[in-house]
Amino acid sequence: MRYSIISACCMLLFLFGCSKNSSEDALPVVDPFTFVSATVNGISDSSLFFNEVGTSPSIKLFFSDPIDIASVQENLLFNQSSGEAINYSATYENDNTAIVLKPASSLGSFSNYKVVISGSLKSATKISLNKSITVSLTTGLDSADKFQRIPEEDLFNLVQRQTFKYFWDFAHPVSGLARERITSGETVTLGGSGFGVMAIVTGIHRGFITREEGLARMQKIVAFLKNKAQRFHGAYPHWLNGTTGQVQPFSAKDNGADLVETSFLMQGLLTARQYFSNANSNETVLRDDINAIWNTVEWSWFRKNNENVLYWHWSPDFQWEMNMPIKGWNEGLITYVLAASSTTYPIPKSVYDNGWANNGSIRNGNLYYGVQLPLGPANGGPLFFSHYSFLGINPNGLKDAYADYEIQTKAHSLINYKYCVANPKKFYGYSGDCWGLTASDDINGYLAHEPNNDNGVISPTAALSSFPYTPVESMKALNFFYYKLGDKLWKDYGFIDAFSLYEPWFASSYLAIDQGPIIIMIENHRSKLLWNLFMSCPEVKTGMKTLGFSSPNL
């Protein structure tokens, strides 16, 4: 028994000794090689997303161990979001546990970049990084001028000339009408074409084209509108096919007359009629053809059974189902002015008072950012409310029972400007130099941007088409858009439709209804050309007086 106990003890000692020797002979445990953190311009962010970093950022990447410098070049990529490689220099700090990256040349402003560190990056002891890492960068404003400074008048000429190309070079080849946008193909817009007609008059006035060239284009446009374009009780649809003249539905039930778009078109045609006033046969025939188009619009029919309001739409398939009365403060003032000015199908003042003015409830009178607003919704709404009708109607000195329109348009623009300066939603980029909210393309499609519907998108047409109302503030915006943002905004047909420095995002689009007011309202600011022409129409003088307007221009 004693022998058995001794044998068992010896066996345990043997086994314990073997176990101890095995542990001592095993491979040592190695700590992983890991990424620790990153800073850009000395600022850290655990999300590894760095915004507004400037165009010459200093990027530091910190690791748990010294780096194998020889493995850096093939395992560290610096790319633009498009995939284009960025040349960089790399230096090392903290006993080679930190890489300092600097781009070889300045990065583009408001652009996205990525620094990608492969999991194959090695430490000095040849251990691979435990996982790949991506550091994202977004640059901010490069404050350097992108174009050479030129005199103010030359800048106006440049902007008007470049914007004019949309309506001249890009016009539909068959009809001469303005395409809705640069991707519209056959689709032309009637309201935008009215703006385009006013742009042609401006182009002749500024010497971009000759009078003969402008007349020939107007003859093409007017002949198409008179002889080929589909109409409904004299009114045109929102969109047409530029070759066939057949309606292109704007929406499911909007496949007939659009009285507001027709108004924008007539505003342009009457302006052109007043401009082409020579006694020669070509200009005489053009005026006669415009009159034939103008006199055919059955404005009073759009009262829908003699109601005291005008309706926006009518369709041969859906009749009045759109059910959209034109009332309140919006872009539709020109519709009531022209309806009252018609010599063939006029409306009485009661339709204006009860319909458009909604028996006086159009009034506002409240203060916004210290500015009293006579008419319209809180904070004024999108700025196109003060643009589209006033391409031809001169608001200066214009009054009726509801407002002084010089005060109204200036107040609306100033509230929009002051809102952007105050920037209550703290969108990056908003300032006294970068402002303007109106309907335009958007990051997610199309949106009527305004103080009560603001998602960080600025529309150049908003500030630039407000030149007659806010010349100082609009010039600040023009200088910023052209000199500071440069070719981010400035392209083939002038300024792109919209942008956001907050995202950042820059549209690739142009819209006729946004490009047109830029060239027209800059001209009204400079010479009052379009105002003087439209307000010289004898029918308009009579119609506006009928509605109770007074003005030195009537």
pLDDT digits (tens, 9 = 90+) for 424-434: 999 999 999 99
Output the pLDDT for position 284: 98
pLDDT band at 318 (very low <50, low <70, confident <90, very high): very high
Amino acid at residue number 373: L
Which neighbouring-strand residues pair with 98?
Answer: 62, 93
Average of per-residue pLDDT across 354-380: 97
Q: What is the dihedral of CA 329, 330, 332, 336, to 10 degrees?
A: 10
Output the pLDDT for position 23: 47
More confident residue, 61 or 27: 61
| Mean pLDDT, the chain, whole residue set | 94
Is residue 1 predicted with pLDDT exceeding 90?
Answer: no
**Token pair belonging to 51:** 């915004």
Average of per-residue pLDDT across 35-58: 93
Please give the Cα distance from 305 to 309 (Å, whole number): 10
Q: How many CB atoms lie within 10 A of CB 535?
A: 21
* Domain residue ranges in the chain: 35-138, 152-546
Average of per-residue pLDDT across 174-191: 97
> Is 199 in contact with 162 (CB distance < 8 Å)?
no
Please give the Cα distance from 430 to 458 (Å, whole number): 8
Please give the Cα distance from 170 to 378 (Å, whole number): 38
Q: How far is CA 222 from CA 194, 217, 330, 347, in A?
A: 11, 9, 28, 26
Output the pLDDT for position 51: 87
Please give the Cα distance from 552 to 554 (Å, whole number): 6
pLDDT digits (tens, 9 = 90+) for 273-304: 999 999 999 999 999 999 999 999 999 999 99
Output the pLDDT for position 452: 98
pLDDT digits (tens, 9 = 90+) for 326-336: 999 999 999 99
Please give the Cα distance from 258 to 251 (Å, whole number): 12
Output the pLDDT for position 503: 86
Output the pLDDT for position 18: 46
pLDDT band at 20 (very low <50, low <70, confident <90, very high): very low
Output the pLDDT for position 17: 47
Average of per-residue pLDDT across 193-198: 98
pLDDT digits (tens, 9 = 90+) for 374-417: 999 999 999 999 999 999 999 999 999 999 999 999 999 999 99
Please give the Cα distance from 135 to 336 (Å, whole number): 57
Query: Which residue is associated with the tokens 């990051």?
Result: 443
Residue 121 DSSP SS3: coil
DSSP 8-state code for residue 27: P
**Token pair belonging to 391:** 């391409």
Q: How far is CA 500 from CA 296, 445, 460, 476, 483, in A?
A: 44, 13, 11, 18, 17
Is residue 31 predicted with pLDDT exceeding 90?
Answer: no
Q: CA nearest 468: which of 408, 511, 510?
A: 408
Is residue 308 predicted with pLDDT exceeding 50?
Answer: yes
152-546 architecture in CATH? Alpha/alpha barrel (1.50)
Output the pLDDT for position 9: 42
Average of per-residue pLDDT across 264-271: 98
Average of per-residue pLDDT across 236-240: 98
Output the pLDDT for position 366: 98
pLDDT band at 362 (very low <50, low <70, confident <90, very high): very high
- Give 471's Cβ-side CA count (13 Å radius): 8
Output the pLDDT for position 12: 43
Which neighbouring-strand residues pair with 114?
Answer: 79, 136
Q: How many CB atoms lie within 10 A of CB 153?
A: 9
Is residue 4 predicted with pLDDT exceeding 50?
Answer: no
Output the pLDDT for position 258: 98
CATH 3.90.1150.10 fits 35-138, yes or no: no
Output the pLDDT for position 26: 56
DSSP 8-state code for residue 85: B
Output the pLDDT for position 2: 40
> Is 438 in contact with 382 (CB distance < 8 Å)?
yes
